Amino acid sequence: MTGIVDSNVLVHGFGRHSNWQGRSGQTYGLLSENLERFAMNEAQLFVLAKGSHVMWVGSTDELVADPMSRTRFRLALDCADRVFRVLSAGNAERLATIWDLEGAEPLQGAQAA
């Protein structure tokens, strides 16, 4: 495990690391969080999912700046059964990363917590 994963697991409890592949083929490291207790911050991206289906991707920046994202977040929060923090956002720009993750799926053989 890399240092970033180790430190995030220690700081945030028993989250499990998994790898998901975005629409573009880019692989992203995700760390599971407790859905009922997760807290977002403006810099960190989160993925709300139901099973292996991504419902919403973003951070507090998207919630504040984009009314459509707020609406989608509320709906996703009602349906989601898991939340992940994005550990590796790749080299793409933020909006491209969000778009890519909205179509992401867990990699074969990777546990999606």
For residue 41, pLDDT over 80 is answered with no
Rounded mean pLDDT of the chain?
A: 82
For residue 59, pLDDT over 60 is answered with yes
Cα dihedral sign for 45, 49, 51, 54?
negative
Residue 95 pLDDT class (50, 70, 90 cuts):
confident
Spatial strand order in the sheet of 105-106: 53-58, 46-50, 82-86, 27-33, 17-21, 105-106
Domain boundaries, the chain: 3-106
Query: How many angstroms separate the Cα of 4 from the Cα of each of 10, 51, 65, 69, 106?
Result: 10, 25, 29, 28, 20
Instruction: Output the pLDDT for position 11.
Output: 41
For residue 91, pLDDT over 80 is answered with no
Distance in angstroms (rounded) separating the CA atoms of residues 52 and 67: 25
